[in-house]
Structure 1
Amino acid sequence: MGIAELSSSAQDYLKVIWDLQEWDKGPVQPTAVADRTGMKQSTVSGALGRLVDAGLVTHRPYGKVELTETGRRYAVTMVRRHRLLETFLVQVLDYGWDEVHEEADSLEHAVSDKMVDRIDDYLGHPTADPHGDAIPSPEGDLPPIPTTTRPLSEVSAGTTVKVQRVSDEDSQILRALSSYRIGPGCLVQVESRQADDELAVSLTDMHSSSDSASDDLLVLSKDQAALIQVSLI
């Protein structure tokens, strides 16, 4: 069975499981899949059962979900399609990075491997998408990425960090970061924080331009800050 023989729904579930596993560094709970997809738990359970029958995931009742080797290969194929499409939309068609996730979700099921490889060639073989997520090679290998990242929500006040990745699931936070010119590769400082609530950050390498927001401090909730992966410098 090839990737084209899988339903769009199965392709989506495999990609979601990969994304969750990549972000959290381990197997994922079915409840996390339900939260990400917006599906009922019963619907997700049925879908996971079909993926188990197809040999694409392992899942015991009340246990975590893991991709099999075949499931991982198919998931990486979908991740590669998605991230290259997002990069193409931003770099070539001038989409904002907050606009590309749903577009790529739709397109990734229709494009062929040949088209994806052509896009990769055209873009010069990028290793990361606009959100900082690693783009797998045609063989399914991932480029070297920092292994000591942490959520911005866990960073202490007064610490300067480098933004590595931002989740593409929340377009609102992407727009807020864009208005402050904050993205992967930028240095930000946590100016202040409340332990269980908000934290304020500032851009340390590109302070206040005429196009940025009027206030230099961007205030983020703890949940928003958790969507931003950073590394210490």
Structure 2
Amino acid sequence: MPSPAVDDYLKTIYAHTEWQDERITPSQLAAVLGLAPSSVTEMVQKLAAQGFVTHRPYGPIALTAAGERRAAAVVRRHRLIETWLVQEFGYGWDEVHDEAEVLEHALSDRLLEGIDERLGRPRFDPHGDAIPDAAGRVDRAAFVLLGAAAAGHAGRVLRVSDRDPDLLRALVDAGVDVGHEVEVGAEGSVRVDGRAVTLPAGAADAVWLTA
């Protein structure tokens, strides 16, 4: 049966490994969801019993095939809604996450399909995150985290984390948005579309470039 709590857990586990390879731990999951570790441990045990995750005590959590399918479906809903709010209602990319958190549990499959069709079947949301198709498939280019990019690397901004709305607004002010070209200089300096830019704190760990 549909459960917002289950879906939120699966969505968070899914998103954790989209842009890096390390699986999420229960303590990391608790921190992201803002819940007590004991509550997270209990829910992870329930998810494992339902066949959505595999997990051993104190170890990382991995989605099963069934968990991956359900998580991709929830992620698809969330990101289509974010894209819809930006394109149809003029929301800023720093404003859509919390709205989508509410709406993703309320929209029918029929309405979601209508939104997808109206938007032209978008492949990426406003932050550059891939929108899974109806079968759960995603198409994502090779990437590198800005903070891990070597001096001399040049690439297009693929994705910006939506975790911190204040950072999103600061990045917009600096011209660091999805699709812009970034050149990494010495000692962390960067040029965006050919001009020198001072990045806001936290940007190095929140921006991904084409590899």
TM interval, shorter chain, is over 0.9
- Describe the SS at the equivalent of 2:54: strand
* CA RMSD, 1 decimal: 1.6
1:155: which partner in 2? 149
2:112: which partner in 1? 116
1:2-36 deviations in Å (ceiling 9; x for gaps): xxx23211110000000002122343211221121
- Cα distance in 2 for residues equivalent to 1:185 and 1:219: 17
Residue of structure 1 aligned with 2:124, choices 125, 128, 146:
128
Q: Which runs of 5+ in 1 are unaligned?
A: 194-198, 208-215
1:168: which partner in 2? 162
Q: Which runs of 5+ in 2 are unaligned?
A: none
User: Residues 1-233 of structure 1: matches in 2 within 5 Å?
Assistant: 5-143=1-139, 145-147=140-142, 149-193=143-187, 199-204=188-193, 207=195, 217-221=197-201, 223-232=202-211
Report the CA distance between 1:142 and its aligned residue. 1.1
Q: TM-score under structure 1 normalisation? A: 0.85
Tell me the amino acid that sits aligned with residue 141 of structure 1.
R
Report the CA distance between 1:158 and its aligned residue. 4.1
1:120-145 deviations in Å (ceiling 9; x for gaps): 000000000111111111111112x1
- Describe the SS at the equivalent of 2:46: helix
Number of residue pairs aligned between Structure 1 and Structure 2:
211
Report the CA distance between 1:201 and its aligned residue. 2.6
Q: TM-score under structure 2 normalisation? A: 0.93
Q: 1:220 to 1:155 in 2, by over 3 A?
A: farther
Q: Percent identity?
A: 40
- Cα distance in 2 for residues equivalent to 1:204 and 1:181: 9
Report the CA distance between 1:103 and its aligned residue. 0.7
Report the CA distance between 1:190 and its aligned residue. 2.6
1:210: which partner in 2? none
- Cα distance in 1 for residues equivalent to 2:80 and 2:127: 11
- Describe the SS at the equivalent of 2:57: coil
- Cα distance in 2 for residues equivalent to 1:22 and 1:231: 14
- Describe the SS at the equivalent of 2:135: coil
Which deviates more, 46-55 or 115-124?
Answer: 46-55
Report the CA distance between 1:186 and its aligned residue. 0.9
Instruction: Determine if contact 1:200/1:220 at 8 Å carries over to the other structure.
Output: no
